[in-house]
Amino acid sequence: MELPVSFASPYAARDGIKAYTKLGLRLYDPLIVGLLARHVWQCPAETFIAAYRTHLRANHADVGVGTGYCLDQCGFDVPDPRLALIDLQPNCLGFTARRLSRYRPETYLRDVRQPLLGIPAFDSVALGGLLHCLPGDMREKAAVFDALRPICNPGATIFGFTLVNDAVAATQRRRLAWRALNDLRVVNCRDDTADGLRRELAMRFRDCTVEMTGCFAFFSARVH
> Tell me: the pLDDT tens digits for 124-149?
999 999 999 999 999 999 999 999 99
Instruction: For residues 210 and 197, give the distance between their C-alpha atoms in angstroms, rounded to a whole number.
Output: 8
Give 171-179 contacts, CB < 8 A, sequence gap 24+.
173/40, 174/40, 174/41, 174/215, 177/36, 177/40, 177/41, 178/215
- Sheet strand arrangement including 206-213: 106-109, 82-87, 59-63, 122-128, 152-163, 216-222, 206-213
Does residue 4 register a pLDDT over 50? no
13, amino acid identity: A
Distance of alpha carbon 215 from alpha carbon 212, whole angstroms:
7
Closest to 218 measured CA to CA, from 43, 64, 96: 43
**Which helix (H) or strand (E) covers residue 45, if one does?**
helix 45-55
pLDDT tens figures, 74-104: 999 999 999 999 999 999 999 999 999 999 9
pLDDT value of position 20: 87
pLDDT at position 132: 96
Q: What is the CA radius of gyration of the chain?
A: 16
> For the residues 163-186, what does the mean pLDDT come to?
95
Alpha-helix runs per DSSP H in 142-216 = 143-148, 172-183, 194-202
Q: What is the mean pLDDT of residues 167-183?
A: 95
Query: Of 45, 102, 100, which Cα lies nearest the Cα of 68?
Result: 100
